[in-house]
Structure 1
Amino acid sequence: MSAFRTLDDADVGGKRVLLRVDLNVPMENGRVTDATRLERVVPTIREIAGKGGRVVLLAHFGRPKGKRVESESLAPVAAALEGLLGRPVAFAEDCVGEPARAAVSAMADGDVVLLENTRFHAGEEKNDPDFAKALAESGDLFVNDAFSAAHRAHASTEGLAHVLPSFAGRAMQAELDALTKGLEHPERPLCAVVGGAKVSTKLDLLENLVAKVDSLVIGGGMANTFLHAIGVGVGKSLAERDLAATAQRILDRAKETGCAIILPVDATVAERFEEHAPHHEYGIDAIPDAGMILDVGSLSVDRVRAAISDAKTLVWNGPLGAFEKSPFDKGTVEAARFAAERTRAGKLVSVAGGGDTVAALNHAGVADDFSYVSTAGGAFLEWLEGKPLPGVEALRRS
């Protein structure tokens, strides 16, 4: 049984179901330019409507800071969602008060209505109990399908769960199941790959992971900080030299917990960060003073592949190099393709997430081959850091 209440526990027939979704999609000239987030919530909407529930959609868009901003209205999103669902999606010009009441009162079983941007009200981000109660007037049940907003204790993500019977939608359930398999109850050995530019943005993540994983691959610019900490010259590479003591503390902690830290042993180096800049592979003990480490080298990729090969579960956050420019994408692409190959063969559970990570896996052409790829960004990172997510905790079985 899931640790969370899901739609399997809910009787939605004939009920008004307040469904919190993430519709914060990219827009251009009033049109949705990437419908990925809309596609992820379609199954939950269809299931509730198919069972005779009245689907009342709640979502935020942009950062209007508690005021009505017409350019951040959800109205254009209703039309895009209608096209994906293949059924009408009505729109209410407010998420509370008379406009919401009138739109919801007009619904029949199986209907779908989208209420206006919750962030047009200051009570949303303040998690104002009175605003949560006002939202709750439109529903008999609350279903949260917006994991990407679950790290925020807002009225429509956390507050509502204390007012109405509450459940996880199918997209939320899939995310929670994947993350539970990845970090809370993984099949071991468990390997983590953490990359990206700066140690400073992932301190909590690294300190949590060294206590939980069997091996930790550190790549990207943050690896340079660790190399500097152990006395390796990194030339003109991006490195947070002032965090050397912090990096050393993480290395010491890994020794205490028995976590194997895997740092680069060689690197692809150039003097300029440009597409197809002249480059060369060097052992990590021979980085030129004028050089910049822009990717892991071939031997390092072999070590990453070996760590992934030994693992039964992989958690991945961040690229191994400056993958945006060729040929500095090689390490990330080769490691990602190897992880995908192991996953396809049924030998690995692979869970990845974070904006750069999703972009890197798409660049490698393997995002669909991982067991689960989270698009949740901040919520995914906070989960990996071991922090409780308010919108998730509210759905736990008591």
Structure 2
Amino acid sequence: MAGAQNDGLSVAERRKRKEAERQAASGSATGGAEVAITELAHNPRNARESLEQIEGLASTYATVGVLQSCAVVPAETFRAAFPEHQAEIANARFVVIGGNRRLAAARYAGLEKLPILVNTKAQTRRDILIAAATENLAREELKPLEELATIEELKDVLGTYDAVAQQLGKSPGWVSQRRRLHNLQPEVREALETRADGMTIELARELGRIKDREAQLKAWQDERRLAAQRAADPAVKNQSKGKTAKKKVPAQGGPDTKTTELDAETKARREACALAVAANECDPTRAFIIALQSPVAPDEAIALASHWLVEAGGSAAGLHLSVLAAGDGSAEQRQGALALALAHCELHLTRTSGRDTAHARAFVDWLETHADYQPTDDAASAAVA
């Protein structure tokens, strides 16, 4: 039977499920009861700069109530960890570390009680900061610049960005991408904050690569002009520097085949590759060597590697030569190199159906070692034939 990763879930969904299972197994939260809203205080350290657009949420709560519990810590624990916020906590019984927007909307709706989950594991300043960051990031409740502020606050506590990534369950590349936002000029930051036409988080990260102020502003104005042209005329194509038309993910049998469906074994291998790319933590040396002996059409490999990178929450821009020309060997580029190497290996294996037994054996062994891949009995036999 194919590996456990072949369960129909995306990489992001599997990550969230594993995190939920980890928290449940650790017993990090207890409760589930309702408490009076008057007993709850907002987190003064909340990364969200404003609790906006709560009116619509409040309307829903007034009709059906609050279905998702707020994560809280006892107020005495919070006061001990953050004595500078004594006055803001006042006489509250709990401090909300996950669900501050829910609390604001519930108050706006005039509700008297909220369901809570009490985090009993978070006892120190460090624990509470990590717990709050994990809650917000897991629910994707933060804006990009708020994510950046959270990363920097945790770095002050944990010492290194690698430690931040580990604690948040993210890859070093994910942290590195957001740190690029430090380089944004004020005008570009404002465009990102206000979600100006043409601005996306992916574009902001790419603009963050440009250190020169005038060059960055010009690149942003060019993108904004193109966005306006596309809005006015749908026939205008994406002309952004460093971007190409999205390529179709290669099918199993090759570019000339009529077969588009992947068999269960290939799906399991590709899911294992996607997970390895998302983690970006293994030694890629063997994969590179195997890939160099895997003749595959470059465009097909780039299309498959790009798919894995985007699925991991990153960007495929690092695969473009125009970006690599000014590269600095970042974690994002290492992730791109790994994705491209695995794409070469995987496509060669599917094209040859394992007939290149030396390649198949080496590639399958790498997946078993680094991606928790378990081939079927037939696939294992073919790889060692």
Q: Taking structure 1 as the reference length, what is the TM-score of the superposition?
A: 0.25
Q: Taking structure 2 as the reference length, what is the TM-score of the superposition?
A: 0.26
The answer to which structure has the higher helix fraction is 2
